[in-house]
Amino acid sequence: MTDDQAIFQNEHDKQLLSDSGTKLLSERLKQTVVAIKDFAAFLRRKSTVEDESYKAMQRTTRLYAESLKSDQSRQGDYVAIVSHSLDLDDAATQAHQTFAKSLFEVATDLAETAKEVERSRKAWKEKAQRQDKHVLDLEAQREKAIQKYTSATEELEKLKSEEGQNRRTGFSFKSKAGNHMDDLSKQEAAQAQRSELMLSLRPQSIAEAQKLAQEGDSTLKLQMLKFARLYESFLLSQCMAISPTDQSQSLRSTLNLIDDSGNVGASASSSHSLVNNDQLARPSDRIFGSSLAKILAREDRVIPACVEQCIELIEGHGLTTEGVPLASLDSQVIQDPHSLCSVLKLFFRELSEPLIPNQRYNEFVEASRIPDEPRRRIRLHQAVNELPDESYALLRYLFLHLHRIHQNRSLNLMSAANLAIVWGPTLLGDHSVEDMPLQSIVVETIILNCLLIFEEDTEPVALRDDHF
């Protein structure tokens, strides 16, 4: 007994050895494909919902933050405390975006698995059907040969019973006898082929199909377990954002700082001083939420002062700090590297148009689709060079900074891939969730090839030869 035959010892498995076995296993493989496709579709829809939820919550937070700036709202420390609580809320909200991206990646992997299993199923079915058809054709020839042999035998008996057989008749009988031998050989060939099919070919074919189904089912189970881990991580990151280990930085502790003593005088005094402050920022003087061109024109600089100061402080005090670009803003400790990184990200996220302009978006995304890394780098290099002057200068300054963070990844745990997840939507803008992996590829490729795309210079605002 062969190893393949050893798996067919019960009545259910013996059905697989029958002529209907190929159909039964093909249907079982279809069930695996459908199960994988259904779960992938579920994850894709959930990813879309999470992404839409993230955008809706960001809009809600932004509207509330704007309302805090109103003269009609309570002023003083209240604004600073609530603004900081919104930073904690934003950190929790960011988890939705990360979760959506991870779900989309799992869904994409599952969709590819479904395609591969379906291709393998079709190839296996065609092979099994060819084997079955070959045996059936031989058996059809055998049946035809048996009929001919039976007919010839009857004719021979008839001839023997007749008298006066001539030599010509005997010659005819000898010729037919030779044909009978050919018919018998066809019967033997059909029987041999049927034996080979049942003892070798079909057990091997069924074993291949069962292995294919097992691989598909195992992949589906692993991705389901991955989904469970991602879900746990998503919920945990939300909890840690609003209630970290250091409870003094929790959302509850922050909001507990609000003065509810009813000291109207302090509030009125604070409001009066804000209204009469000659240095109160006018709408045209905004740093956050303005266009890059307006900020540069107002400051008469190539790199905005906010960006330059944040990066200088980060590289001076926190380049090796773990998780540098991830934490939320702590308004009371502005030299905390995590807080500085939050300010830096907020500046780029609040630009009226992404640093990589919308009209150039497709060039970068299409370049990210190129599988060959050198060709992808060259295409992105060309796209970067075609950016407006002010965008190029700031992009170069930022990516040289991100490259230095990547170089210290063994200490800060922020590799190019991790940085790309954080900075992709920030630099290219919020588009469809399907583009999120492509945005990450853009940022990661530029970080890893930063010194090839941009020439490193000791001057922070050095530009291309053909700019300015």
Per-residue pLDDT tens digits for 327-354? 433 434 444 566 677 788 888 988 989 9
| Whether residue 94 is found in the same domain as residue 216 | yes
Longest dimension (CA), the chain: 143
Share of the chain above pLDDT 70, in %: 65
Q: Over the stretch 1-16, which tens digit does the pLDDT of each residue have?
A: 444 444 445 555 555 5
Least confidently predicted of 177-191, 290-304, 437-451 = 177-191
Q: Is the pLDDT of residue 146 over 70?
A: no
| Whether residue 301 is found in the same domain as residue 424 | yes
In sequence order, the 6+-apart residues with CB closer than 8 A to the CB of 145 are: 182, 183, 184, 186, 187
CATH number at residue 441: 1.10.555.10
Q: Note whether 234 and 49 are within 8 A (CB).
A: no
| Domain-located, residue 12 | no
**Structural domain for 411, as ranges:** 292-320+334-454
Residue predicted with more confidence, 432 or 390: 390
Q: Over the stretch 189-245, which tens digit does the pLDDT of each residue have?
A: 555 555 555 555 666 777 777 788 888 888 898 889 889 888 888 887 788 778 776
CA distance 7 to 218: 20
Q: Of 207-221, 264-278, 382-396, 446-460, give the range with the top mean pLDDT.
A: 382-396
Residue 347, H or E segment = helix 337-349
| Whether residue 26 is found in the same domain as residue 88 | yes
In sequence order, the 6+-apart residues with CB closer than 8 A to the CB of 91 are: 241, 242, 327, 328
CA distance 117 to 87: 46
- CA distances in angstroms from 419 to 48, 232, 381, 402, 434, listed in the order given: 23, 22, 19, 8, 19
| Domain-located, residue 138 | yes
CATH number at residue 42: 1.20.1270.60
Task: Over range 258-270, report the average pLDDT.
Answer: 54
Q: Over the stretch 78-136, which tens digit does the pLDDT of each residue have?
A: 787 888 888 888 888 888 888 999 999 999 999 998 998 888 888 877 777 676 666 66
| Domain-located, residue 126 | yes
Q: What's the full length of the chain, in residues?
A: 468
| Domain-located, residue 9 | no
| Whether residue 213 is found in the same domain as residue 343 | no
Instruction: Name the pLDDT band for 403 (thresholds 50, 70, 90).
Output: very high
Q: Is the pLDDT of residue 268 over 60?
A: no
| Domain-located, residue 261 | no
Task: Please give the tally of structural domains in the chain.
Answer: 2
Task: Over range 267-289, report the average pLDDT.
Answer: 47
Residue whose entry in the numeric block shows the structure tokens 């034996």: 195
| Whether residue 233 is found in the same domain as residue 95 | yes
CA distance 311 to 394: 12
Looking at residue 87, its pLDDT comes to 83
CA dihedral over 187, 190, 196, 198, signed as positive or negative: negative
Angle between helices 77-161 and 416-428 (to 10 degrees): 110
Q: Is the pLDDT of residue 368 over 90?
A: yes
Residue whose entry in the numeric block shows the structure tokens 């031989």: 138
Structure tokens at 296: 């540069």
| Domain-located, residue 466 | no
Q: Over the stretch 19-52, which tens digit does the pLDDT of each residue have?
A: 566 778 888 888 889 999 999 999 999 999 998 9
Share of the chain above pLDDT 90, in %: 22
Q: Is the pLDDT of residue 307 over 50?
A: yes
| Domain-located, residue 343 | yes
